[in-house]
Every structure is written in C-alpha cells, then in structure tokens.
A and B are shown apart, each in its own frame.
Chain A
Amino acid sequence: MAFFLTATAVSCLGLALLLRFNKKRQRVYFKGRPQRGSHTLTLGGWLLVLIPGVALLFLGQWSAFLSWFGGLTVIGWLVAVKKPTAEQSP
C-alpha cells in the first residue's frame, strides 16, 4: 500500500506538470496568456511519471506496480477528460 501510494503521488506530480505545460491544453485553459513550458519541463514530467514504475519493478513490488500502472491510467484519464468551461473553450 505504501509503495503504491508513494509511487502514484510522485507520478501524479509528473502528470500535473505534463498537463499544465501541454501546449494544446494551454491554448484552451489559459487562453490569451503567454504559453509557458519547455522540453526540459516535459522531460521532467515524463520522468516523474515513469520513474516510480521503474522503481517498483526494480524493488520487485509487482502487485504495487500493477496497481500503480492501472491507477495512473485511470487518474490520467479522469484529469485529462475535464471539460473546459464556456469561457475557456475556443
């Protein structure tokens, strides 16, 4: 449980970075504001998302790894699918 929670929390942080600095999403959610983000931030986001999974595999925590992978896909979907508000939508 502790492995799963830690890994998922770290990956969610990475997910938040990727969502915040994704150019397509910025055009919708931060319309009219200057676009932010860089390759380094995107790379950092992906590393934060994926490294916990690699760590779980390295530690032999198979059960936590599968739960983390499944949980991450569900959380990622639920966050990404959020509807833009009427003001935000292009």
Chain B
Amino acid sequence: MSVVNQAQSRRLVAVHGWSGTVLGLLLYVVVLTGAIAVFAHEIGEWATGGHASVEAFAQPIGPRLEELAEDVKPEYLDEVVVFSDSAGNIQVRFHTHEERDGGRIEDIGVRYILDGNNLEVLQRDEGWFSELPRDTSGALEDFIVDVHVNLYAPFPWGLYATGILGLLMLSAVISGVLLHKHIIKDLFVSPRKSSKLLFRKDRHVLAGSWSLPFGFVLAFTGAFYSFAISIGLPVVAMVAFGGDQEQMIETILGAPVPENTAPAQLASLEDVIADTTRRNGAPPVSLTVSHWGRADAVISVFHGPTEEQLYGQVHLFEGTSGEYKGPKPIVGTEPSMGAAVVGLIGPLHFGNFGGLLSKIVWLSLGLACCYVTLTGLQMWVERRAESKAWQRLGRLIPIVGYGTAISLAGAGFGYFLSAGGDPSVWVTRAFVITAVLCIMAGYAVRDRRLMENVFRAALGLGLLALPVLRILTGGPGWGEACGAGASMVIGVDLVMVIAGAAALRSVSRERATARSVQPAVESAV
C-alpha cells in the first residue's frame, strides 16, 4: 500500500519527474562514466598494452629508493609515496607540502617513473605536482575518472556539480519509493504492450524497482565523496575546530609523531613489505614513508580490499626499526563505528571489494541506473508531446544517451592516435570532437529511428575498431599479450568486440522489424 495520499502522490510525481528531468542528462553522463570508471584501471592497463600480473612490490625496491633519494633536494624527503601505475611501472614521488599563492597547500617535489621489471628510471619530473607533465600512461583512465568525478570542470565546481547530481538522484530514488503503491509486486510486472507509453512505463518501473537499493547506495556515496572534500571538511574545520585545519587533521588522522630530525637509516622496506603481506594476506598497493632518513620516520602501507576485508587497510611501521605499530583506522586513531562506516563508503561506491566479479556486478548496476534515468526522461517528455520545448529536450535524449558512449570510444581513438603528442590532450580533444559530431548528426538526421540506428552503428563500429587500432598503433597482439601474461588486454578487447557486435546486431534487428512492419501497414492502408 502507498504511504501517501492522492495529493501528496501528485506532488511526489512532480518531485520525482523534475528531479530527474532538470539535470537528468548530466546525471546520465555522470552515472555512465561512473559505471565505466569501475574498470578505469583495467582500461588504463589495456590502453598501455598491459603488463604481466606481477605484484607491485615484487622487486627489491628499498636499495633503488635509497639511490634515488640521494638525487633529490633534502626537503623533498619529507614524504615519499610509492605505487604501481596502469602500465605496470612503479611511480615514486619524493615531495613536501608548501603553500602556494592563494593559501592552498600543494605537493612539490620529484616524480620518478620506474620500469616495473628492472626499476630503470623511465622519466623524472620536478616541480609542483599539479603542474608536472601528466602521466601519459594513465591518460585514458584519468579522463574517464575526471569526467565522472568533476564533469571535467575545475575544482571545486565540478565536485559541487556532481554532488548536486548525486542529491538529485537520491531525491528521485526516495520519491520513487514513496510513489510505489505495490513495490514488491512491481518487481514482477510484465511490460504491457497495449500502448507505447505503458510499455515504457512498465520497463522504467521494473528497472527502477530492481535497482532501487543500489541507486540509493550509489547516489548517497557519490554525493558524500563530492561534498566531503569540497564542503564537508572545510565546514567541519570551521564549525568544530574554529577554522583550525591543523587541529582538525590531527583529530581525523591522528597526531603526528614527536619530531626528531636526527639522521637515521631507514629499515629494510623488503622486510616491512614481507611483514605487512603476511599480516594482510595480500601484497600492498602503495607505500608511504614520512620523514625519510630521519629518526622519526614512519612507514604507512596501504592494502586494497580483499574477499575477507571489504575496505582497504593501512598498517603503520616504525621507520628506523621496521617494528609493526598496528593498523591505522581511516578516521581517528582507534577503531570506531565511524571509521568503519567511512571505510565502507569506498567499496560500496567503487565495487572494488571482490576483484573482477564485484566490478562486473557494479558495472551492471551502473548501467541499470543509466537505463532508469533515460527511460524516465523519455517518459516525461512523451507525456508532454504537445510542448515544443519538451520535444527539443526529447531530441537530446538519444543524442546524449548514445553520444556519451560514442564520445568515450572517441577518447580511446584519441589516445591511440596521439603518437608523438600528449595523450591526455588528445583524449580530451577526441572526446569533444566526437561529441560535437554526435550533436551535429543528431540534429541533421530528423527521423528519430534512423538517428538511433546511426548512433548504434557508430558505437558498434567504434568499439569494434578500438582493439584493431590498439594493435595497429603498436600495442601487443593477442599472442604477444598472452605470452606476456597480460590477460587484461585480451579481456577488454573481447568485451569491446562483443559490445560492438551487439550494437550492430541491434541495428540489423531494428531494421528487420521495421521492414516487417512496413508491408503490414501498407496492406492495412
């Protein structure tokens, strides 16, 4: 039974419809890129030609870091971050934190990119980290993530925008729940074909009902991420700590260890890595050394989620002795319910807790949310068929719906065709050029069915062409990838081929249906 009366129901329909309509197309872009961003790292690995599934810290990294530390300014030894990137290279960032114009604290130092196999230096850059040449190996994945997180807008405006979109999605989910008269029965309703609008409504209700719990989870966690950084932390600092950011950081992250600038030898990183791998049951994903070469050095080791542990873990080690100091909660210094809740937000949003399996599930959930957004918009517009303004929005639905996916494939083309140039620039350019072409095609082809077929065919051909282009531009073929243990390359290629073939097949089926309907209509006339 519905918990609202008829008048409230009408108002809720308005809230539900308008919350989805006002920024529905932008919400769709965020949700679609979010669904794909679940596999951003795998896509980055695929784009760079992949690498054998070796552990990031399998090499004896300690002696190599000591050599590199002698080649940087002493102040950059304040903090050293080490992690493995999408191309299988090791990135080492010696840096400190300094205030820039405008009072913002930023990282400044030296970034090394080391070959993951032999630890040879591939690239060395020095300066403000926000101004260093972009890490080209991650250009494609960074772009996808940036569109999802910031809509490619500058900080903090992009975060505000995606946060508001998250809240709109939450509002649509909650009003959708309240509107349902028979939410459980609606899970099994069969789409009625008696009218086009009813058919669309039933399919929208079905997708919406099944994806309700995760729509709520994804919207809430997404809005949390957007607002926690852009508004939440500054507001907490202002209200609870009288604007004292340092005190706030101490409370959230724990007080720093007492300063001791006396020179001291760092403990063996290999021993620390072996110890933390044994404790966590899996190797770490990154490692940070604070106060390198000093008596107050601390080593923090980060582990990703595992099947037993839903969220990542941080283990602390004493820097000079390598003695284990215990796990570090995400919030505060002692384990707490708050830390557990904040810790859960990450895996619930990214779906990265169960390897590829949970990522596939999260991708599917994201695509289901895309479907709900677009079908909801479509219904809203069809009910207002007499209004020209709404019809103009209606025309935009397939343009944005297919156009975003085609433009993301276009970004892939930009990455592979950027030979000699900066891939991050070409990825953006290609995305924009493809988006403009889609808009032009959308307005040039007046017939809606033909327009959708053109878009599907473009998407299908684009996806089929990407693996070919990857190989033609120097990427490994399947035999080579198989021999190198780069299974992700083959996996992503296969997904592209299957998705591309499915898009082309849908065009051919659509045309066959249209051909079979046409004679029937003619004979009826």
Among A24, A25, A28, A64, the residue within 8 A (CB) of B354 is: A64
A→B interface (CB under 8 Å): 1, 4, 18-19, 22, 24-25, 27-29, 61-64, 66-67, 69-71, 73-74, 76-77, 80-81, 83-84, 86, 89-90
A62/B193 in contact, CB under 8 A: no
Given A76-B210, A90-B194, 10 more pairs with CB closer than 8 A: A4-B357, A24-B189, A62-B353, A66-B354, A70-B358, A70-B365, A73-B210, A77-B368, A80-B188, A83-B193
Say whether chain A's binding surface is mostly helix, strand, loop, or mixed.
helix
Do the beta carbons of A19 and B357 come within 8 Å of each other? no
- Whole-angstrom distance between the alpha carbons of A73 and B372 in the complex? 14
Render B349-362 as a binary contact track against A, CB cut-off 8 A, 1 for contact. Answer: 00101100110011
**Chain B 184-202, CB within 8 Å of chain A: the 1/0 string?**
0101111111100000000
**What is the number of residues of chain B that contact chain A, defined by CB distance less than 8 Å?**
33
Q: Does B305 contact A (CB under 8 A)?
A: yes
Establish whether residues A77 and B190, one from each chain, have CB atoms under 8 Å apart when the complex forms.
no
Minimum CB–CB distance from A9 to chain B (whole Å) comes to 14
Give the A-binding residues of B (Cβ under 8 A).
Answer: 185, 187-194, 203, 206-207, 210-211, 213-214, 305-308, 310, 347-348, 351, 353-354, 357-358, 361-362, 364-365, 368
Q: Within 8 Å CB of A19, what residues of B?
A: 188
Q: How far is the CA of A89 from the CA of B306 in the complex (A)?
A: 47
A71:B361 contact, CB within 8 angstroms: yes
Q: Which of B189, B192, B307, B361 makes the CB contact (< 8 A) with A70?
A: B361
Known: A81-B206, A90-B192. A69 touches B213 (CB 8 A): yes
Closest to B359 in A: A67
A22, A64, A70, A84: the one within 8 Å of B191 (CB): A84
Specify the chain A residue showing the minimal Cβ separation from B367: A74
Decide if B211 touches A63 in the complex (CB within 8 Å).
no
Contacts of A18 in B (CB 8 A): 188
Shortest CB distance A4–B (Å)? 6
Q: Which residues of B contact A29 (CB under 8 A)?
A: 190
Among A61, A69, A73: residue with most chain B CB under 10 A: A73
Residues in A whose Cβ lies below 8 Å from that of B307: 61, 63-64
Known A4-B357, A89-B194; judge A62-B210 contact (CB<8 A). Answer: no
A83 touches B188 (CB 8 A): no
Query: Quick one: which of B187, B193, B347, B362 contacts A76, CB cutoff 8 A?
Result: B187
CA distance A52 to B192 in the complex (A): 32
Q: Is the CB of B207 within 8 A of A77?
A: yes
Given A63-B307, A63-B308, A63-B310: A74 touches B190 (CB 8 Å cut-off): no
| Among B193, B211, B214, B308: residue with most chain A CB under 10 A | B193
